[in-house]
Structure 1
Amino acid sequence: MDIWAQIESDHEELKGLGKDVLKSMDGEGPASRDNQFDLFDTKLRRHLAAVEDVIFPPLEKQQATSATVHEIEQHHKSMRRDLSWLDRPGKNEKDWTQSFEVVLEQLDRLCSRHETLISQAKPMIAEKDGLSLGDRYTRAKLKRIPGSWDWNKIGIGAGTALGIAAVGAAAVAGAKRYQRGRDGHSGDADDFELRLQTDETVRLISSEKVEGTKVVDRSGEEIGKVVSFMVDKYTGRVAYAVLQFGGVMGLGAHYYPLPWPVLDYETKHDGYVLNLEKADLKNAPSFKKDETPDFDDAGYRRDILVFYRPS
């Protein structure tokens, strides 16, 4: 199968898995929402990585496709951030479900962008090269299954190997989650270790090095600085970085809760880059120093998440 057909097939599978997550219920076993989300999360990350490994390198050098590749790359980063954001307890709660529905909308937009790139790329790539890229694409996904064997050495093709390994990985994941439930402890450590393997955006950094760090907009203009963090008490992960903007010595300043994953550190700016223009902040959720934002309100959290999503 050529690479274009494989990508389209992946799109259909991912959309189907997303629907399965919404249909699933809380509880234990393979059909639980935790397990269904884990499967969706793993397969989507694997798909994004394979596209980046195989499709991006030849097309980002072409004038006709370089801009599209850059846009899709940013969309990939956003999808990974959203997946990390959703990887938390309470998946059967209404606000989690609403957030996941927004992620599925973003997935639809991403698939459309992939299809646009495919339509631009097809005339540039010969049919035989499309088949060769298809094999590389399959192997790129196979490489990201933890504990995968060297299938070449045992004479099994990449397509068959991917199917065998995917079924095995799903079974192992379900068994591990079931066992964790029996043991009475959380799987966050195992999940986080998997994220370190599959999500290149995960890094560790001391809060002392972040608080006070400047934030610039996409054009490089400074818009404020990080003054504090909001940490999820249940997962222990940073949920928001609070951006201070305007005012003198903190007086009259506005504070903007930013979902932590929307900030990208760039050494050339010696600070974090927020992918919007300074003027866009006038419409962003914010509060003043003497105000207390209601982070317990699902609508408020959703407003923040939706505002910083790519259009």
Structure 2
Amino acid sequence: MDLWQLIANDHANIADLCGEIPRAFPDGGVRSRERLFRDLDTELRRHFEAEEESLYDALEDHDRAEHLVDELEHEHEEIERRLGELARVRDKGTQDWTQRFRDLAALIEGHFHREEHELLPLAREILDEEEFRELRHEYVEENIEALRARQGGWDVPSSGLLLGALVGAAAGALAFAAWRGGALRGLTDRTPTQLLLSRAPVLGRLGGLMSRTGRRRRQYGAEVLKDVAQRTRTSVQDVSSRLRLPIGTTYAVVADLERKGLVRSTRHQGPVRERIVAITTRGREQAQR
């Protein structure tokens, strides 16, 4: 799994969390709004740290990328500032808190889209294959360091030992998704961070989950493409609703299709900020096969 897929998987899982939080019960239980928000805070900060210390650091000295990287780093700061403000509110069940969270989720979605559609394509033009491989290694290492720091200096195996497992299992993002989705139920009751850092025998099952995730992503791609082909244009949220797919998965599939030139997407500029997707000529031909 390459760096772009690792980042896209992080984005998809974080987007799923953003979609779950407004629907969660404000208090109590493993899937309470408070618990899910803490998970989101942890995952976002881990993801940001890993990006900044690997991809951002590699690009910030290039003239073509310097301004964009600076803007994206400022967006990280703004997102973290808003996370802190929302975390300090004791009652997370109010309409005001929910609306402020939805505004934050829209900011996160826009930030991820800029990374996937502006930063990553630019990085492909600037960096060579050897640099890509090194960045993948650094991204995984920074994930490990971020997790270690947040767990108070656990005795984490060296990144060399974990690199293959992390990449093969979509790094922390996949472990997190597996834990939340119950795919590891019966193996352990520990948190996703503990799963990732422990030596528990979960890697085989994670590898199988990765394989199934890839097959499902390809299947979803065909379904999303056919759905979009039936309309002049549509929002990603509507595609998600019609096909009953998680919103984060839908965004990830649309991003894959756009990278292949099968669809194109734009941000709606009206009062409701959403991503609008339309079929391309190549995509329509693919959908008709």
Q: TM-score range by the shorter chain?
A: 0.5 to 0.7
The answer for the alignment partner of 1:223 in structure 2 is: none
Matches for 1:172-187 after TM superposition, within 5 Å:
none
Aligned to 1:117: 119
Structure 2 matches for 1:216-227, cutoff 5 A?
A: none
Residue of structure 1 in register with 2:267 after alignment = none
- Write the letter of the residue equivalent to 1:97: T
* Equivalent-residue separation in structure 2 for 1:5 and 1:148 (angstroms): 27
Query: Which runs of 5 or more residues in structure 1 are unaligned?
Result: 173-311
Larger displacement relative to structure 2 (143-152 or 106-115): 143-152
Q: Where does 1:156-175 land on structure 2 (aligned, <5 Å)?
A: 156-157=162-163, 159=166, 162=172, 168-170=190-192
How well do the aligned residues superpose, as a CA RMSD in angstroms? 2.4
Aligned ranges 1:45-56 → 2 under 5 Å: 45-56=45-56
TM-score (normalised: structure 2)? 0.55
- Secondary structure of the corresponding residue to residue 64 of structure 2: coil
Indicate the residue corresponding to 1:135 in structure 2: 137
Give, as a single letter, the amino acid of the residue that structure 2 aligns with 1:143: E
With over 3 angstroms needed to count, the CA separation of the structure-2 counterparts of 1:171 and 1:9, relative to structure 1, is closer
The percent of aligned pairs where both chains have the same amino acid is 26
Q: CA 1:35 to 1:58, structure 2 compared with 1: closer, same or farther past 3 Å?
A: same
Comparing both chains, which one has the higher relative contact order based on Cα–Cα distances under 8 Å and sequence gaps of 6 or more? 2
Distance 1:171-1:112 versus aligned 2 partners, 3 A rule: closer
Asked if the contact 2:26/2:33 (under 8 Å) is kept, the reply is yes
8 Å contact 2:9–2:173 — kept in the other structure? Answer: no
Q: Deviations over 1:6-32 (max 9, x none)?
A: 111111111111111112112222111
Q: Which residue of 2 aligns with 1:149?
A: 155
- What are the within-5 Å matches in structure 2 for residues 17-96 of structure 1? 17-87=17-87, 88-96=89-97
Q: Secondary structure at the match of 2:29?
A: coil
Distance 1:17 1:151, change over 3 A: same
Task: Please say if residues 141 and 159 of structure 2, whose CA atoms lie closer than 8 Å, have aligned partners that are also in contact.
Answer: no
Q: Secondary structure at the match of 1:64?
A: helix
Structure with more helix by fraction: 2
Structure 2 match to 1:100: 101
Indicate conservation of the 8 Å contact 1:4/1:130, yes or no.
Answer: no
Q: Matched residues in 2 for 1:125 and 1:5: separation? A: 17
The amino acid across from 2:136 in the alignment is G
Q: Deviations over 1:4-59 (max 9, x none)?
A: 11111111111111111112112222111100100111101111111111112221
- Report if the CA contact (8 A) 1:50-1:141 is conserved: yes
| Partner Cα separation in structure 2 for residue 153 and residue 74 of structure 1 | 29
CA distance in 1, matches of 2:122, 2:21: 32
- Runs of 4+ that moved beyond 3 A: 153-158, 160-172
SS at match of 1:8: helix
Deviation at 1:92, TM superposition (A): 1.0
Offset at residue 151 of structure 1 (A): 1.4
Larger radius of gyration: 1
Q: Do the aligned residues in 2 keep the contact of 1:86 with 1:100 (CA within 8 Å)?
A: yes
Higher strand share goes to which structure? 1
Distance in 2, matches of 1:15 and 1:108, equals 7
Q: Equivalents in 2 of 1:83, 1:58: separation in Å?
A: 27
Question: C-alpha distance in 2, partners of 1:60/1:153?
Answer: 25
Judged with a 3 Å threshold, the aligned counterparts in structure 2 of structure 1 residues 75 and 152 are, in CA distance, closer, same or farther, namely same
Q: 1:162: Cα distance to partner?
A: 4.1
